[in-house]
Amino acid sequence: MAKRVVAVLLLLWSSLAGAADPYPIRPIRMILPFPPGGGTDVVGRVLAQHMSASMGQPIVVENRVGASGTIGTNVIAKAPPDGYTFGIIISNHLVNPALFKQLPYDSVKDLAPITLIGYGLFALVVHPSVPANSMQDLIALAKAKPNALNVAIASTGTIGHLAWEQLKATQKIEMTSILYKGAGPAVADVLSGQVQVIFASYPSVQAHINAGKLRALAVTSEKRSPIAPNLPTAAEAGVPGMVLNDWWGFAAPAGTDKAIVARLRNETVKALALPEVQTRMQGLGADIVGSTPEEFATLISTGIEKWGLVVRNAGIQAE
């Protein structure tokens, strides 16, 4: 009897001691679903560095790339919900459910949103040979000469692709779509004049715009950006309702304890407030947010419905 009591007490003590262990007590894995060197990689590594210092444990970055981010996202979704694996999802997370016939995870049910880190800036850009100094000029030109202009699509289902499909549908215009496997080759062909139009991440074309090698006509953000204050929004340029932003956010596996989700969100917000992090993010054209988990969850659920409809109506299919 006494042995049984001792055993029960030891078990109770062990469970209480485990519950009292502060989080985190070992290294944390941050999954990045895209290759090193891109905007997602920069955002993740900058935040990992400062969050590691604040949390007292290393945050180890893993790039798990492929299939428009779905490989890395699947790693996050299938990880144990213990707070030791989380990662970045980006704007194409809203498109992938419609783009791929079958995903290995549920884009809403299998993830616990942590925070929307920030928005990236996209712009409508043309080669200087195009006789258009505004979005309305370009629309008029496309209506007058259907398919005379080529538009570069950096990759299927990207923000740039969706922006073009929305502009085409709402303004009843036609250009010849040229599909690329990445933003680099797409921008290169616009620079050479082989292709005349692109919706591109602003930081990827900013230097070329400043050098006069490309001309920006508008941005697709809700409001003007501090890094391009002279560029009108699409709404200001006469295309209301055209708001498309690249974005980055953190998510954990579904079932992760709410206290851990809150801790990760608070550590992210704390890092985003650091001047050196803000400088790095602004260099990417980012509008820093740091939302609540609930706000981020709403963005995801409503965005999947909205952009899924755009993908289906446009007949966009995975490469």
114 and 131 share one domain: no
Check: pTM over 0.85? Answer yes or no.
no
Does a structural domain hold residue 254? yes
Of 219, 237, 270, the residue at which a domain comes to its end is 219
Q: Are residues 139 and 189 in the same domain?
A: yes
- In-domain check, residue 249: yes
Q: Where a domain ends, among 219, 253, 278?
A: 219
First-to-final CA distance of the chain: 68
CA distance linking residue 216 with residue 133, whole number of Å:
8
- Do both 109 and 251 map to the same domain? yes
- Residue showing tokens 């609930």: 294
Looking up residue 46, the CATH number of its domain turns out to be 3.40.190.150
Residue 215 falls within a domain, yes or no?
Answer: yes
- Same domain for 303 and 286: yes
3-class DSSP state of 59? strand
- Does residue 265 belong to any structural domain of this protein? yes
CA 29 and chain centroid, separation:
19
CATH for 138 = 3.40.190.10
Q: Which DSSP string corresponds to 245-295? A: -EEEEEEEETT--HHHHHHHHHHHHHHHTSHHHHHHHHHTT-EE----HHH
- C-alpha 311 chain-centroid distance: 17
**115 and 264 both lie in a single domain:** yes
Distance CA 65, CA 53 (A): 26
DSSP 301-319: HHHHHHHHHHHHHHT----
Tokens of 238: 């006469």
Domain limits for position 179: 122-219
pLDDT at 257 over 90: yes
pLDDT digits (tens, 9 = 90+) for 77-117: 999 999 999 999 999 999 999 999 899 999 999 999 999 99
Q: Contact, 318 vs 156, CB < 8 A?
A: yes
Instruction: Give per-residue pLDDT as tens, 107-160.
Output: 999 999 999 999 989 999 999 999 999 999 999 999 999 999 999 998 788 889
Total count of domains within the chain: 2
Residues 60 and 83 in one domain: yes
Q: Which residues contact 260 (CB under 8 A, 6 or more apart)?
A: 23, 82, 83, 252
Would you say residue 43 lies in a domain? yes
Residue 238, classified by CB atoms within 10 Å of its CB into exposed (0-12), middle (13-18) or buried (19+), is middle
